[in-house]
């Protein structure tokens, strides 16, 4: 059984006009079937408004599905009494690094989650140390979060979730507000967590470069899952991706154009090295 | 630049007073303030002066830092002194035309000045040696008996510490919005008071909107990390009394006893 299982999952927003009457109903997530296995690294792609953030918030039980079923580690998210356990199982990292750090000192912020779970003091300290080390922020534990760079803040936020020992971590566009260096730092931290600690990672993003390491890529459009497969399978379909207003990594695009122009290249190229190798043969 | 400002006026050092439990310091400040208002005798103030001087010495905070706090209340102090000088009834010392200065007035004014000065000095020892966070923690723990009468102590202290965290961020944001509006020809400098106040509208509206948005995001992030109020929460840095705190309590009580004794025994 997978850690996250969704069947015909749907979520509706109601848009109200000035008189408080329902103007229109927007189905942000519309009939999503999803099965994520333990230890997987899943990337969710989609342009703005494709429903990927709504999906993420449902996994963390911040939003309750209006239709369909969603099980997180066997727990039904629609059941009120499961909410806190679901949040413990599936941690969430948000987009804006400033708005999710609660503590005035790095270590205090990482301790916030375990404090809420009612964990004894000594164990909180152990967890804080272990999770700050796992994202490489241990040296900054006494700093004020205000003095860190965006990438560092986001790593602190990840450590804050890791300290709760979740089985699954959902990252809702964690790199959208970061510079290229910060983006690399964060993605490296997420991959390390996934590979070393075997935490299931669900990465929501619109940067194609970040998904090439994923085990599985899901493309969403208009609340529905429109493509699913390994990065290799997804990026082979450059023209379909363009239809969903998504860009493929530059190397892949270059290889695709070269192939169209008649150069003998494999169907999908994901990295510069691969392309160099293929071209030099 | 704005991000580097330190809130409150914490002066980092490793003195015994710095390490002390914030509850002891809170209690100490209150005891000291009460002791200042108990008696109006010079002898009592001598004891208070000695005590304050000793505490300042132990805290290792330079005296110049303490005095900074006094500047703010200088005007208030002058007003109090002048009123006390001229309006206290009693035997006249000298008179400027119709305004009489009495001996009692001089005495009263001097006591008032010393009192206010000590009040500020005493409470700045608290704020200079305690980080704002530590102070909120101390307040939460010290006020926790009030939970019985449904005072939301945990929520208040949580709000205070979140406010402390967001003040530098919002200051930074104000700076950004100001620059953005100035790039659109907003004028924050010229004109009289009313015009200046009006010119703040294009600054305050976006600031408020962004603050609400941040609050919304933060609330969601807190819930996602399992926050559901103070119940069932453990502390990462619990406040536990150590030996030095017990010693400090004993010293404080001895001080209070000394004050009462001198006030009652010595006549001047």
Tell me what pLDDT residue A231 has.
86
Tell me what pLDDT residue B245 has.
92
Mean model confidence pLDDT for chain B: 86
Tell me what pLDDT residue B5 has.
43
CA closest to B216 among chain A residues: A99
Tell me what pLDDT residue B160 has.
86
* Interchain proximity A115–B235, CB inside 8 Å: yes
Q: Does B226 touch chain A (CB under 8 A)?
A: yes
Residue pLDDT, tens place only, A236-280: 888 888 888 887 778 888 888 888 888 887 777 777 888 888 888
Decide: pTM greater than 0.90: no
- Out of B164, B222, B233, name the one closest to residue A118 (CB): B233
Residues in A touching B4 (Cβ below 8 Å)? 147
> Mean per-residue pLDDT for B91-98?
79
Three-class secondary structure assignment of chain A: CCCEEEEEEEEEEEEECCCCCEEEEEEEEEEEEEEECCCCEEEEECCCCCCHHHHHHHHCCCCCCCEEEEEECCEECCCHHHHHHHHHHEEEECCCCHHHCCCCCHHHHHHHHHHHHCCCHHHHHHHHHHHHHHCCCHHHCCCCHHHCCHHHHHHHHHHHHHCCCCCEEEEECCCCCCCHHHHHHHHHHHHHHHHHCCCEEEEEECCHHHHCCCCEEEEEECCEEEEEECHHHHHCCHHHHHHCCCCCCHHHHHHHHHHHCCCCCCCCCCCHHHHHHHHHC
CA closest to A158 among chain B residues: B225
* Interchain proximity B214–A124, CB inside 8 Å: no
Q: Does A64 touch chain B (CB under 8 A)?
A: no
CA distance A59 to chain B (A): 10
**b/e map of A196-209 (b: 16 or more CB within 10 Å)?**
eeebbbbbbbbbbb
* Interchain proximity A121–B220, CB inside 8 Å: no
At B2, is the pLDDT very low, low, confident or very high (cuts 50, 70, 90)? very low
* Interchain proximity A146–B169, CB inside 8 Å: yes
Least confident of A15-19, A32-36, A239-243, B169-173: A15-19
CA distance A212 to chain B (A): 28
Residues in B touching A145 (Cβ below 8 Å)? 165
Q: Does A73 touch chain B (CB under 8 A)?
A: no
Tokens of B36: 């200042």
Residue B205, pLDDT above cutoff 90 = yes
Higher pLDDT, B211 or A271: B211
Mean model confidence pLDDT for chain A: 87
Tell me what pLDDT residue B3 has.
43
Q: Does A68 touch chain B (CB under 8 A)?
A: no
Residue A110, pLDDT above cutoff 90 = yes
CA distance A192 to A173: 18
> Mean per-residue pLDDT for A75-95?
89
At B4, is the pLDDT very low, low, confident or very high (cuts 50, 70, 90)? very low
Above pLDDT 70, what percent of chain A?
Answer: 100
Higher pLDDT, B100 or A162: A162
- Out of B162, B233, B234, name the one closest to residue A102 (CB): B162
Above pLDDT 70, what percent of chain B?
Answer: 97
Tell me what pLDDT residue A124 has.
93
Q: Does A117 touch chain B (CB under 8 A)?
A: yes
The helix/strand/coil state of B95 is strand
* Interchain proximity A114–B165, CB inside 8 Å: no
Q: Does A100 touch chain B (CB under 8 A)?
A: yes
Domain ranges in chain A with CATH number 3.40.50.300: 4-236
At A142, is the pLDDT very low, low, confident or very high (cuts 50, 70, 90)? confident
Residue pLDDT, tens place only, B24-37: 999 999 999 999 98
Residue B239, pLDDT above cutoff 50 = yes
Computed from CA positions of residues B127, B132, B137, B143, in that sequence, does the dihedral angle turn out positive or negative? Answer: positive
Tell me what pLDDT residue A145 has.
86
* Interchain proximity B227–A116, CB inside 8 Å: yes
Highest mean pLDDT among A168-177, A239-248, B84-93: A168-177
Residue pLDDT, tens place only, B101-160: 888 888 888 888 999 889 888 888 888 888 877 888 898 888 888 888 988 888 888 888
> Mean per-residue pLDDT for A83-105?
89
* Interchain proximity A112–B217, CB inside 8 Å: no
Q: Does A123 touch chain B (CB under 8 A)?
A: no
- Out of A104, A119, A128, name the one closest to residue B133 (CB): A104
CA distance B39 to chain A (A): 42
> Mean per-residue pLDDT for A15-32?
82
* Interchain proximity A121–B236, CB inside 8 Å: yes
* Interchain proximity B236–A120, CB inside 8 Å: no
Residue pLDDT, tens place only, A190-244: 998 899 888 999 999 888 888 888 899 999 888 888 889 988 888 888 888 888 8
Least confident of A20-24, A162-166, B114-118, B160-164: A20-24
- Out of B132, B164, B234, name the one closest to residue A115 (CB): B234
Residues in B touching A108 (Cβ below 8 Å)? 133, 236-237
Q: Which CATH homologous superfamily contains domain A4-236?
A: P-loop containing nucleotide triphosphate hydrolases (3.40.50.300)
Residues 6 or more apart whose CB falls under 8 angstroms from that of A133 comprise none
Residue B8, pLDDT above cutoff 60 = no
């Amino acid at each position: 059984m997978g850690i996250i299982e969704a069947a015909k999952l749907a979520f509706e927003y109601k848009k109200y006009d000035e008189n408080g009457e329902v103007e229109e109903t927007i189905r942000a997530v519309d009939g999503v079937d999803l099965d994520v296995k333990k230890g997987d690294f899943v990337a969710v792609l989609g342009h703005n408004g494709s429903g990927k953030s709504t999906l993420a918030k449902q996994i963390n039980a911040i939003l309750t599905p209006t239709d369909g079923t969603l099980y997180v580690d066997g727990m039904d998210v629609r059941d009120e009494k499961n909410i806190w356990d679901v949040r413990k199982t599936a941690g969430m990292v948000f987009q804006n690094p400033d708005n999710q750090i609660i503590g005035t000192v790095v270590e205090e912020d990482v301790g916030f989650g375990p404090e809420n779970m009612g964990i004894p003091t000594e164990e909180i300290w152990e967890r804080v140390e272990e999770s700050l080390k796992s994202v490489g922020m241990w040296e900054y534990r006494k700093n004020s979060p205000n003095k860190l760079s965006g990438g560092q803040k986001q790593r602190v936020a990840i450590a804050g979730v890791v300290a709760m020992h979740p089985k699954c971590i959902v990252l809702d566009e964690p790199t959208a507000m970061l510079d290229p260096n910060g983006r690399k730092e964060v993605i490296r931290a997420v991959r390390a967590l996934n590979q070393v600690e075997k935490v299931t990672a669900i990465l929501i993003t619109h940067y194609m470069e970040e998904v090439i390491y994923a085990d599985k890529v899901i493309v969403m459009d208009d609340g529905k899952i429109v493509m699913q497969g390994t990065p290799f399978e997804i990026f082979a379909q450059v023209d379909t991706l363009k239809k969903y207003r998504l860009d493929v990594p530059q190397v892949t695009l270059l290889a695709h154009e070269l192939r169209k122009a008649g150069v003998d290249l494999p169907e999908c190229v994901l990295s510069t090295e691969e392309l160099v190798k293929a071209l030099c043969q | 630049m704005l991000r580097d400002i330190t809130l409150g006026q914490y002066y980092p050092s490793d003195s015994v007073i710095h390490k002390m439990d914030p509850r002891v310091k809170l209690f100490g400040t209150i005891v000291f303030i009460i002791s200042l208002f108990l008696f109006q005798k010079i002898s009592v103030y001598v004891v208070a002066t000695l005590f304050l001087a000793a505490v300042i010495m132990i805290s290792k905070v330079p005296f110049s830092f303490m005095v900074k706090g006094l500047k703010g209340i200088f005007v208030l102090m002058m007003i109090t002194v002048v009123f006390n000088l001229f309006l206290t009834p009693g035997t006249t010392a000298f008179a400027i035309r119709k305004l009489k200065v009495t001996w009692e007035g001089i005495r009263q004014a001097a006591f008032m000045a010393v009192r206010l000065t000590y009040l500020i000095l005493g409470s700045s020892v608290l704020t200079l040696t305690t980080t704002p966070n530590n102070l909120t923690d101390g307040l939460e723990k010290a006020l926790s008996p009030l939970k019985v009468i449904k005072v939301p102590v945990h929520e208040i202290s949580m709000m205070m510490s979140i406010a402390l965290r967001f003040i530098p961020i919002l200051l930074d944001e104000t700076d950004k919005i100001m620059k953005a509006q100035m790039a659109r020809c907003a004028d924050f400098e010229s004109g009289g008071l009313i015009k200046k106040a009006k010119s703040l509208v294009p600054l305050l509206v976006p600031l408020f909107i962004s603050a609400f948005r941040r609050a919304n995001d933060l609330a969601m992030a807190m819930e996602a990390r399992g926050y559901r109020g103070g119940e069932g929460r453990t502390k990462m840095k619990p406040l536990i009394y150590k030996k030095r705190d017990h010693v400090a309590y004993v010293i404080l009580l001895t001080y209070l006893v000394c004050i009462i004794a001198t006030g009652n025994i010595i006549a001047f």
